Amino acid sequence: MEKYVLITGASSGIGKTTAIKLAQNGYKVFAGIRKQEDKISVESENSNIQGIFLDVTDIESIKSAFNEISKFTDVLYALINNAGIAYAGAVECLPVETIQKQFDINVFGAIRVAQQFMPMLCNSKIVNISSMASFGLFPFISPYCASKRSLDIFFNALMLECKSPELKVISIKPGVIKTKIWEKSIEANKKVMESLPESSIEKYRCEFEYLVKNAEKNKDKGLDPERVAGLILKVLNSKNPRPSYTIGADAKMAELFSRLPLCITNFFTKFIMKKRMN
């Protein structure tokens, strides 16, 4: 029996790498993309990959993707919610519209897709690409942290509520990964910063400059997406996967640190941020 998998945000990074990895191991992969050139690129990697136009913020796009996939199968072995972006800024001056956009992509987008495809997911696996940010330790990227925590909470509830006891929800929490999300986030956040009042820009100038430098550094360091793709393959091949996996030394450290009393984590987080600013 062929195993069909849908991956959102499969044009690059973890999504594309996972699509290739799964296709190489016999899975039939529907790769969610938004551009024709991305469709051509991902399909050229393996004959088991089919690009599907899918914008997680557009319900009509999701319905269209569902109808297209329905021509091939009425059962998905797995849904991998990977589409996402990271917005940054100080809560004091971050536009609420930016926070809403963060959640619209990272949280509501995943919920929209899951709700639409639930008829195909009765005895399947839903794999969410969460983040070490879900442990909530990182100031100035609170929209991203909160969105990843929310993603985990909503989908754990989905698993508990689901009438099918065979549905499994798995959260993958990577540390820093070398992907294009950093480049996309730098561009997106520059536009946000430019829209702020000059007083806010001046007040947090050092922090904003640090965020940009850190994002530029992250795009060239961290885990290779291949490591995450390998873990996802392991999860899909497992009969009883764990509900949560943390991958990367930095992610494991963040997980341990998050278990300390909040007053202690806050103290050390402020200390580390002050040291980096200097």
Residues identified as active-site: 144, 148
Compute the distance between CA of residue 229 and CA of residue 235 in angstroms, rounded to an integer: 10
Q: What are phi and psi of 119, to 5 degrees?
A: -60, -20
